[in-house]
Structures are given as structure tokens and as C-alpha cells.
Structure 1
Amino acid sequence: MPDSADPHRLTPLERRSSASLATISSLRLLGLFLVLPVFSLEVAHLPGGDNPAWVGLALGIFGLTQGLFQIPFGLASDRFGRKRLITLGLGLFTAGSVLAAFAPSVGWMVLARALQGSGAVSAAATALLADQTRDVVRTQAMSWVGGSIGLVFAVSVGVAPLLANAVGLSGVFLVTGALAAMGVVLLHLWVPPEPVRDAGLQRGRLRDVLDSPELLRLNFGVFLLHAVQVAMWTAIPSMLVQAGLPKAQHWWVYLPVVGLSFVLMGMTLFPMERRGRLRAIFLLAVGLIALVEVALAGVVAARPSVLLLSLLMFVFFYGFNVLEASMPSMASRLSPKNIRGASLGVYNTLQSFGFFAGGLVGGALFEPGGSPWLFGVCALGMLAWLVVAWPMVAPGRPPRASPAKPG
């Protein structure tokens, strides 16, 4: 039962759900992010690794298949149960990781990465967390999962080169498979049981998701957010190097920046939500990221210092963490229970396509040391999202009652 003194606090069961599903998400994301910093260099040793088109396909096809399978997994989780689909997805990711570890050529690596991506569990996992938490604490619960994305990304940037040097690309993929397999064990030993499903609940349709203007705003936004995240990180590492920070020491910036931004997010987002200001802080976060992109576009030629880049990344990750915590919470609260899995499937599909599109844009506009065109395009994307999101109605605040008519 919720704490009667403060209904805005997570109950022990809600904390267990949040912690366990955030851990599973972190293990899977760590497996994914560990590959990114070293993949293009290490895969060059395979037959066909000298072909940039095949290497790019092997890297990017994960996001493509991930996006294609999110909606089917979400719909199936509405019908057959969340844990079954999460187990299946983590199993596919593990199998793809093992195949990648022993891939004899880049062609086989493409197949392995596609198999990894087909294990699209994000929608089912987010829907399960939504099923196990109350609306009033949903954003707090989602922040545990959302915050893990930025933290795991920062850790992987520092750990991946060391791990690849020690065990090679095959070893990195075996580690990713082992992490996913650990996720299956945790799912069945630690995550609380699924709520009993209402047998009389009408099955939802994909069309119901596409008919909601508020859900469409969120889906448009999550696509742009992750496209911008991936695109700008094609340039940020080289900018840090040009500012005088060796690649092996980039984690000195990433870990403090992500950690402090997460603390600030917790200090501002949750109190603002309790005061009914979720829309305000949501729009503020979008605007802050747009300002970061404008600033980066303006300072590229001046070769900014490590301190200035750290400050801009702090602002970026603050906005990113606010959005990562609030958006899936809003999507789940705006969705009726019978289409929650489908709704989050669409949401995560657009998220995956955002990763894919960000890689394409970043690759096309990348210049060593940063490109004003790259950051300019990112700024325009965020400003477009701000315009689209402005009329949004945040969930959780019922419309003001109309005055009663006399008589």
C-alpha cells in the first residue's frame, strides 16, 4: 500500500519493480553501447571489413530491426504477457551476440546484428513497469530506467576500448550475450509478478494509438531526441580530443556530467510534477537541448575548451534525463491499459528509428573537430519539436470542471 503520509513516494514493491527493470535495461544497454565505440575499428579485421558500406550496415541494422520489431512485441505483450515477450527478446539478443562473436565475415556480422535487434523488449519492459506502478509515481519509476541510459552510455565510452584491447571484438560480444542472459535470470527471480490481467478487457488496436494527438507528439519527439543524441556524438569525441583531452580520458567528463545532471533532474522534475508543472519542465528541457545545439554550432570554429564542452554536455544531459524520465511515463499514462504495450511499441519504434536516422545524419555531416552544419541541423530539429510539443496536455491533470448550469 502507498505511504499514507506521502502518496508521492514509491512503495517497496514499486521500488523493487523500478530497480529490477532498470537493472535489466542497463545490462542490455551496456551490451549494446559497449560495441559502438570499437565496432568500426575491430570489424575491419574480418573478411569484407574494408568495405565501408557493409561495415555501416552491420553497425546500423541493429537499430532498423529493433524498430521493426517493437510494435509486434508490444502488441504481443498486451495479449500473451510481458515477461514471456521480454524473455523471448533477451533470448534473441543473446543468440545474436553469440553469432556475432563467431561471425566469420562481415556478411555474417550483419545477420548477427539483425538477430540482436530483433529482440525488441523495450516496449514490453516499459509496459510492465507501468503495470506495476501508480500514475502518481510513474515518472519517478521511469526515471530509474531513463537515467540508466545516460549512465550506461558514459560508462561504456570509457570501458569499451579497454575491454576490446583485452578480449577483442569477439570477447565484447560474448560479454554482451552474458549480460542479456543475466537479464533473463533477474527477470524471473527479482521482478515482481505481473498483475492479473482482466480477461474481459477489449483487445487494443494499433489504430487507437495513431488516433491520439498527444501520443503522436511524444512519438515525434522521441524520434528527434535520439536522432540528435546519436548525431551529435559523432562529433563530440573529436571535439574533446582537439580541446586537449585524450580519448582514454573522456570518461573523466562523461561520468561526472551524467551523474550531476541526473541529480539535478531528480531535484527539479519530481517537485515540478507534483505541483502540476510537468508540461513546463518538459518544454524547458526541449528548449535547453535546442540551445545547446545552437551554442555548439556557434563555437565549433573557436575550438571550445574542455570546460565549455563539459558545461554544454551537462545542460544537454539534464534536458535528456528529464525527457527520458517523463516521456515514457506520459506515454503509458495517456494509453488505456488494453493498448499500453502497443502504444509503447510505437514509442520505442520511433526511438529506434531515431538512433538509425541520427547515425545517418551524423555520418553525412561529420567533420573532425565538429561541424556547424551538424549542430545546426540538430538545433532545427529540436526547435521543430518545441513547436509541435507546445500545445501538449500533460497527463494527470483533469480538465477544469465547467460551471454548473442553473436549473
Structure 2
Amino acid sequence: MSASGLNTVEKKAAFSLATVFGLRMLGLFMILPVFAIYGPELSGYSPIWLGLAIGAYGLTQALLQIPMGILSDKIGRKPVILGGLVVFAAGSVVAAMSDSIQGVVIGRALQGMGAIASAVLALAADLTREEQRPKVMATIGMFIGLSFTLALVLGPVVTQAYGLSGLFWFTGILTLFAMLMIQFMVPNSVHKAPKGDNVAMISQLSELARNKHLLPLNVGVFVLHMALTACFIFLPLRLVDSGLALSQHWQLYLPTLLGSFFLMVPFMIYGLKKQKEKEMFLASIVLLAVTLVLMAILPSETMLLVLLILAFFVAFNYLEATMPSMLSRIAPAGVKGSAMGIFSSSQFLGAFAGGAVGGWLAEVFNQETVFFAMSALVGLWFVVALGMKRHAKSKSFSFNASFASEEHASEVADKLVNMPGVIEATLVYSEAVAYLKLDDKQADIPQIKALLNP
């Protein structure tokens, strides 16, 4: 099989794991476009509880994602993923059977406790070759984006037909399909990829949390998902106020989301080709901040809301798509799993904070204050992002290595970093592995392999 393409196992792993990830995220996101409208019908309703119900999954997801990834290293990927899906399904049932908003909050928190993201990504790494892994990860990322689009389209349709309870039962059914795919379609892992680049390591988390190059991305994904969640506490109500019935909301979301994808692609291409990634990144943050202010001050008219939602998702999708790629280049060699763990936990914490803070602001002040506050936070992110440095293009590689001693490993590392095309080298003596960040157009990979295995 040519190394330039995915083999049969990799194709099967990419499709099945991406589908499982997508089904789960679809279940989490479908509440966004409808809960602001149906939530007030539940007993115990208040704006704070509304926000908590939307964002509760983020807190438990953030707390358990890294431990679940580490557990998957000890007892296996599939048992952890299946167990997480069982918990997620249980949360869906609890939410579906609840007549109070507090019951829905408990159900959503249970859904978040099925934190399988890191285990799924680690299994994807186990089942793929190093040079093909980016394609598989990109496939998973594409399905996550697709699931968000489908959620905004299907959420109003399913809820209009079957009610809020029916939405959660539908989520539970999707989870059963995901469990069947894990059991019968996902290949069994026969290879363990080097764990440092795929699963978070507790010993690395503290240092990486303080890494000044990663901080703008971790702050950014927190603020981005905080703004998204806070906005969707009230955005559906704005659409209803503009005269657009809930059953018609998908007719707005579908074209604006698809349009935002088409509009952001030229900016991504321009940024990559012209080496203007930082400028385009900062411009997207500004667009997001301005859009949030306009949502607060402009009247709720359908055409205005269409344009604002389009602008919001152009900025959101650009930032959402580029940050993981930037993180993979910036993260030190051999600790990408830990860096991604912090990044993902920041994302989920942002979703929780958006629900909790957005609901509180609306109850104490008003809906407009929510949009102003989110815009201010995005502005602070812009200030932090100004300090981002441009990083050389690179690819991460892991190689088996043979070291006579730790001193020998240190000597080899010194030689490696002085070789052409080697940007960074991390050699782990205890695992007999070398993690390298290379400019593969300059690096002499056969020479590197010879040095690592004399």
C-alpha cells in the first residue's frame, strides 16, 4: 500500500471514529437552537438555570476528559469509549424524563461525564501511521463541524415535531448507534502510538499551562466557546421576535452556516499562501467582537440577524478551524497530547462559563449586556493574541530509538538539534522514542534514523 494514501484500516478508522465523534457532538449541540424557546416551559425556570442547562456538559467534560484519556491508556480505548457513551446515553434519558429545568441540568452534566474525546483521538492515533495521522484527524474535525451544522438544522425540526423530551430521546438513540459503531465497525487497536503525542500526561500539564506561546490559543478557545454558548441562550428568541417561527429557523441556519464555510476558505488560503496567518487570525477576532456589539445594539429584524449570524460564523469557523492546526505546530515535540488536553478542557470550560455567566448577566441586567460582555472578553483575547509569534512550518514525527544510557540520549539530542531541518527534538530514554519537529523539506530523515538507531 502506498504511503501517500490511507490504507483500508485507516479509512475504516477515520470514517467510523469521525462518525462516532460527530453523533455525540450532534447530541450535545442540538439543544442550542431550541432551549431558549422551550426551556421556560419547564418548572423552576430562570435565565441562570437556562444557561446552566445549556453549558452544564462543559464543566464535567473539562474535568473528566484528561482522566478518561489516561484511563484509556491503562484499560484500553474501546472500554473507555463504550463506557463514556453509556453514561452519555444515561444523561440523555435523565434529561428526556425531566419536567424541571434542574433535572435537565443534571442530565446535561451526565452527558458531559461521558468524556470520550481524548480516548477517541488516541484510538485514531493508535490505528494510523504517523504520516497519515493528520488526514484522519482532519476527517474527525470535519465531522465535528458538520455535526454542529446539522444540530442547528435538526434541533428545531425534531423539537417542533416531538417536543423537548423527544429531542433528548433522539439524542439517546444516536448514542446507541455510536456504541454499535464502536463495537462492530471500529478496528481493534493492534498498535499503541507513542503516548506523549496523543494522551495527556499529568507531569506535563502544569508547565504547558504556563507556556506563553500556547496561552493565546487556550484563552482563545475558552472565550470563543463562552461567546457561542452565551449567545445561543438568547439568539433563538431574537429570531422569534423578528417574526421567524421556530419551524423556520433551520432555513436561516443552513444557508448562513454553509455560506460562512465558503466565505472563510479564501481567507484561510490567503493567510497560508501569503504567510499572513497571524493577521487573518487577529482580523477574525475583531470581526467576532464587532458582530457581538452589533447584535446588542441593532434591532431584531430578520435580514439584519441573517447578516450578523453569517458574520459571526465566518469568524467562529475560521478561528475554530485554525487554532488546532496552530497548536499542533506550536506545541513542543512529544507533548502534543497534553497540549491538546489543556486546549480541549479550556474549550469545554468556556462552554460552561458561557452558559453560567450568560444566564446570570441576563437575570441581573438584560440580554444586551450578555452580548456586550462577550464582546469585551473577545477584545481582551485580541490583546493577548497580539503577542503571538510566527512559527516556522513544521511536521511532528516520532521515531523508535536505541540509547545506551540517558547521557547517550542527551548527546544524540544535541546532535539532532544541530542537523538541518530539525526544529525541535525531545528524546525519552525510558520509552526509547524520539519526538521531532521537522521541516521535512530540509531534514534528512534517513540520516536522523541512522543517528537514533546506530
1:327 partnered with 2:326:
no
Q: Which amino acid aligns with 2:385?
A: A
Q: Which amino acid aligns with 1:391?
A: G
1:178 partnered with 2:177:
no
Aligned to 1:50: 44
Q: Which amino acid aligns with 1:181?
A: L
Counterparts in 2 of 1:90-169, with a 5 A limit?
Answer: 90-102=85-97, 110-129=105-124, 132=128, 134=131, 140-141=138-139, 143-165=141-163, 169=165
Aligned to 2:192: 197
Q: Which amino acid aligns with 2:70?
A: L
Aligned to 1:20: 16
3-state SS, counterpart of residue 250 of structure 1? helix
Q: CA 1:229/1:107 → structure 2, altered by over 3 Å: closer, same or farther?
A: closer
Q: Name the CA distance, whole Å, in 1 between partners of 2:10 and 2:267.
A: 21
Aligned to 1:231: 230
Between the two proteins, the alignment pairs up a number of residues equal to 388
Q: Name the CA distance, whole Å, in 2 between partners of 1:195 and 1:340.
A: 22
Q: Which amino acid aligns with 1:72?
A: P
Q: Name the CA distance, whole Å, in 1 between partners of 2:107 and 2:184.
A: 28
Counterparts in 2 of 1:7-406, with a 5 A limit?
Answer: 17-36=13-32, 49-50=43-44, 52=46, 60-77=55-72, 81-102=76-97, 110-129=105-124, 132=128, 134=131, 140-141=138-139, 143-165=141-163, 169=165, 171-191=166-186, 194=189, 196-197=191-192, 204=201, 205=203, 206-270=205-269, 272-273=271-272, 276-297=275-296, 299-300=297-298, 303-335=299-331, 339-366=335-362, 371-393=367-389, 397=393
Q: Confirm or deny: 8 A CA contact 1:37 1:160 kept in the other structure.
A: no
Q: Confirm or deny: 8 A CA contact 1:276 1:397 kept in the other structure.
A: no
Q: CA 1:141/1:226 → structure 2, altered by over 3 Å: closer, same or farther?
A: same
Q: Confirm or deny: 8 A CA contact 1:158 1:248 kept in the other structure.
A: yes
CA positional deviation for 1:227: 0.7
Q: CA 1:283/1:98 → structure 2, altered by over 3 Å: closer, same or farther?
A: same
**Over the residues paired in the alignment, what is the CA RMSD in angstroms?**
3.8
Deviation per residue, 1:143-164 (Å, 9 max, x gap): 4044225303322442242243
Q: Confirm or deny: 8 A CA contact 1:78 1:339 kept in the other structure.
A: no
Q: Confirm or deny: 8 A CA contact 2:30 2:152 kept in the other structure.
A: no
Unpaired runs of at least 5, structure 1: none
Q: Confirm or deny: 8 A CA contact 1:139 1:326 kept in the other structure.
A: no
Q: Name the CA distance, whole Å, in 2 between partners of 1:29 and 1:290.
A: 26
Q: Confirm or deny: 8 A CA contact 1:73 1:85 kept in the other structure.
A: yes
Q: Confirm or deny: 8 A CA contact 1:222 1:351 kept in the other structure.
A: yes
Higher Rg: 2
RCO higher in structure (CA 8 A, sep ≥6): 1
3-state SS, counterpart of residue 233 of structure 1? helix
TM-score by length of 1: 0.79
Q: CA 1:201/1:107 → structure 2, altered by over 3 Å: closer, same or farther?
A: closer
TM-score by length of 2: 0.71
Give the structure with the larger strand fraction: 2
CA positional deviation for 1:286: 1.8
Q: Confirm or deny: 8 A CA contact 1:140 1:325 kept in the other structure.
A: no
Q: Confirm or deny: 8 A CA contact 1:58 1:113 kept in the other structure.
A: yes
Q: Name the CA distance, whole Å, in 2 between partners of 1:320 and 1:14.
A: 30
Worse-superposed segment, 117-126 or 104-113: 104-113
CA positional deviation for 1:27: 1.1
Q: Which amino acid aligns with 1:246?
A: A
Deviation per residue, 1:267-301 (Å, 9 max, x gap): 4425643654433333332222112113223x43x
